[in-house]
Structure 1
C-alpha cells in the first residue's frame, strides 16, 4: 500500500556551498510504498497530486507536476508533457530521510540534495 508523502530536499554541500544551503530546496509530494519507492500506479491514478515546488533565493518559485517519462522522472509546469525538464532518476533508489538525491536544475546542472524530512501529505 502506498502513502502520499511530502518530501523536503535541501541543497547538500557543493563547491559553491560547502555547508549546503537550506534556503535552496524542493518540496515533492509523491506516493511511496513501504520500501520508499515511488508507487507509479498510485501516481498514475492521481497524477495532479504528484507535485514539485522549487524554492530558490532571488528567483521566483517554480511549481508543477512530477511525471514518469522514459528513462526516469521529469518536472512539468503543466499536467501534460509540453515542457518536460528531466529531474530524477529514482527507478531503483528509495526515498529515505537522510539520503541524498541528485536533481537536474533548469539550467542543466546536476546538484546533490539531502532528504531532510518526509511527512504524510
Structure 2
C-alpha cells in the first residue's frame, strides 16, 4: 500500500468572498488512492494513523489533523475529542483525486466550499 499527497486549493466560489478563488487557501492531504484516483478504503482502514490533513490559509498558522471516517461520512478532524472542529467532505468516497478535479469541503462554519485538486504525487 502506498500513500499519495494530494493538494487542493480554493476554487472559485460564486456568492462568497472567494468568488475568484484563492490559491493561498487549501488542504494538503495524505491518503491511499486506488489506481483510478479514489480513496482506497481497505488501505485506509490499515493506515488510518498515516492519513493526515493540513489546512493552510494566509491569515492563520497551518492546522494539522487527520482524515477520518465515521460510518459513510468522511471528514477532516483536528482534535480527536472535539467534534465541533470536524470539516465534512462531501461524498469523499465518490471523488476522484486527479489534477483538475473538484472536491467540496464544509468549512469551520459549515459552509460548503469547492476546492480544485492541483497536485497528486506519491507521499
Give TM-score, length-normalised by structure 1.
0.88
Q: Match of 1:55, SS?
A: strand
In the TM superposition, residue 3 of structure 1 has moved relative to its aligned partner by: 3.0
- Matched with 2:109 is 107
Runs of 4+ aligned residues of structure 1 deviating over 3 Å after TM superposition are none
Deviates more, 1:47-56 or 1:10-19: 10-19
Q: Match of 1:8, SS?
A: strand
1:61-99 CA-partner distances (Å, limit 9, x unpaired): 111110111232112224x4x224142121222211101
- The gaps in structure 2 that reach 5 residues or longer are none
- The count of corresponding residues between Structure 1 and Structure 2 is 118
What is the alpha-carbon distance in structure 1 between the residues aligned to residue 5 and residue 62 of structure 2?
17
1:14-39 CA-partner distances (Å, limit 9, x unpaired): 23233311100110000001111111
1:39-50 correspondence to structure 2 within 5 Å: 39-50=40-51
- The gaps in structure 1 that reach 5 residues or longer are none
1:78-89 correspondence to structure 2 within 5 Å: 78=79, 80=80, 82-84=81-83, 85-88=86-89, 89=91
CA RMSD after TM alignment: 1.5
- Matched with 1:13 is 12
Q: Where is the helix percentage greater, Structure 1 or Structure 2?
A: 2
**Is residue 2:3 matched to residue 1:4?**
yes
